[in-house]
Structure 1
């Protein structure tokens, strides 16, 4: 058995035994269900403080204490962020918050969401489109899971240390951290050199000159200390599509969900799905506005938007990324139909977006 498979199997056995023992005791006493929820960021992250904890409190209140959460931030139960989808699928944990792009190849129908210049650079507008896409065109990606939320990180802004990037030529040769495979391909297409690394290493790499910048959502600037190491920030303007986005999701073990009492499933459903998707999106938009306001008020910082000419040039340069994605065959996946379906949703819900 492959080492990774052995480790997943071991986790599953340990936690399954613990879960069965704990659930049996709890049910015998008070019918309480405890949901183990793991994610990859610290406990003080926007996701946990402003969405996950309040959501868990709502479940607890609505169920009169019968639904409890145990939250494990920063991968406290072991493994890497790229393994979160496997952990929840195998029942190692009950729920995870993860980025779909961290597990390359696991969500092939959802990759279209992360192609360059596909979605609005607004969390709520993009996330409504993503939810509608994920529950229609992309639903087969999520067959092994109960999907509780799927949404946009608002999109990548370019944060650089020493260079004010205003044109495509300004990008040439810059070493830029990218969060997903398609973000890396986008950067390559416009002349930059993408670098993959965990969020925890970004600030140190920037300060040491290993990186020249990062393509990242505004929301991650404070926790990754990008505001201490980068001083030039180039974002998309009004009605310009995001350069790339990272699709974030809350996934639940399907068997765990189906094994809940019907009344508790109803409570979980009430606070999940599109409701939780938009709750995350609103939190991301609020955090984005706060960070942009703070950064813009600092005289040491410089915030720009892509000009119409540069935006058009970036789109033209990155078109091969789209073409390559469409041409790469994946079994039982009609990529052209997925691409056309997403474009249809975007045109219906964001007609002012520049394409």
Structure 2
């Protein structure tokens, strides 16, 4: 009888121990951007919040700077289970995100304030229309960067006619179309290679926002910036569906409560705040930030006006209802 009691206790201990182990999970988060980028700061903070909400049963390990794979392989990493969560830059997947990347159309957000917050919340609220583009993955939320400027190694551009012939890195197909409309020659360069490419003169300029440019240390190689706020990068934060489904109720609740609109608003706010700090970095480095007159700004807008209609018309042919989606995006971001 004593032996039975001991055996029963051992079995109970083994079962309880197994349960405790089964409900402890470390999420592997892949990020193409460096550890100084706002994405890295946001995801690190999210991991700590998950750990706090689950009493340590759900933690996160961040792998920044493309440690798990390059920018255009982030979705594959999550699908294959190499990473549990990743940030997907839509522009790195030409032809994949027909609707998600419409936020990149020229001057979509104009000169509004808090663009990253407005855009991130708006795009996340339209997720049901975007789920097909993320088939097989759980989308935690979507995000928009602050508006993009153009950073030059030597050229000083304060009007659209000065863009002619310049080799400029664009972050997506849409950005490349805008650059072409201005007479520039779009060049494909990975974010991690931008500073080196600018320094060596492989390219003349690059479209980026201030926060990201500072994170990639572009303040060390550029001499002027043209702050025309002409587009914005778009992202998805995605998770392996099987990993999510395998979590405990408490762990899934912690994720649900910190993603969706809440996650989009949090990241958007961080981006908007960091953009001010990023601009200060370039000011402090003595980089000339051009003053763009209203007339010159109108010149950039007018020259790129045909891009919006061309893209919407092309994507309507795929049955994606691009026009109605874009109209709603404009309406939501204006709130």
Unaligned runs of at least 5 residues, structure 1: 1-24, 237-241, 350-355
State the 1:129 CA deviation: 2.4
Q: 1:51: Cα distance to partner? A: 0.9
Give CA-to-partner distance per residue, 1:214-271, whole Å, 9 cap, x none.
Answer: 11110122232211111211213xxxxx311110221111222122222211111111
Q: CA deviation at 1:46?
A: 2.7
1:87 aligns with 2:77: yes
Contact 1:83–1:103 (CA under 8 A) maintained in structure 2: no
Residue equivalent to 1:314:
300
Q: Name the CA shift for 1:59/1:83 in 2 (closer, same or farther; >3 Å).
A: same
Aligned to 2:59: 68
Cα deviation, residue 89, structure 1? 2.8
Query: Which of 257, 270, 275 does residue 244 from structure 2 map onto?
Result: 257
| 1:269-290, Cα deviation, whole Å (9 max, x unpaired) | 1111111112211221222111
- What TM-score, normalized by structure 2, do the two folds share? 0.87
Q: Deviations over 1:122-168 (max 9, x none)?
A: 322232222223x2543433343222221111021111122221111
3-state SS, counterpart of residue 248 of structure 1: strand
The 5-angstrom pairing of residues 304-343 of structure 1 reads 304-329=290-315, 331-343=318-330
**Is contact 1:175-1:213 (8 Å) kept?**
yes
In the alignment, the residues of structure 2 paired with residue 75 and residue 163 of structure 1 have an alpha-carbon distance, to the nearest angstrom, of 30
Partners of 2:290 and 2:56 in 1: how far apart?
48
What per-residue deviation string (whole Å, max 9, x for no partner) do you get for residues 26-81 of structure 1? 75636202212111123343321x2111110110111001102122222323x431
Which residue of structure 1 lines up, in the alignment, with residue 88 of structure 2?
98
CA 26–185 in structure 1, closer or farther in 2 if over 3 Å, else same: farther
1:126 match: 119
Higher-Rg structure is: 2
Q: Name the residue aligned to 2:288.
A: 302
Q: Is the 8 A contact 2:106 2:231 kept in 1?
A: yes
Distance 1:190 1:302 in 2: 21
Q: Tell me the equivalent position of 1:175.
A: 167
Q: TM-score, normalization: structure 1? A: 0.82
Distance 2:197 2:38 in 1: 23
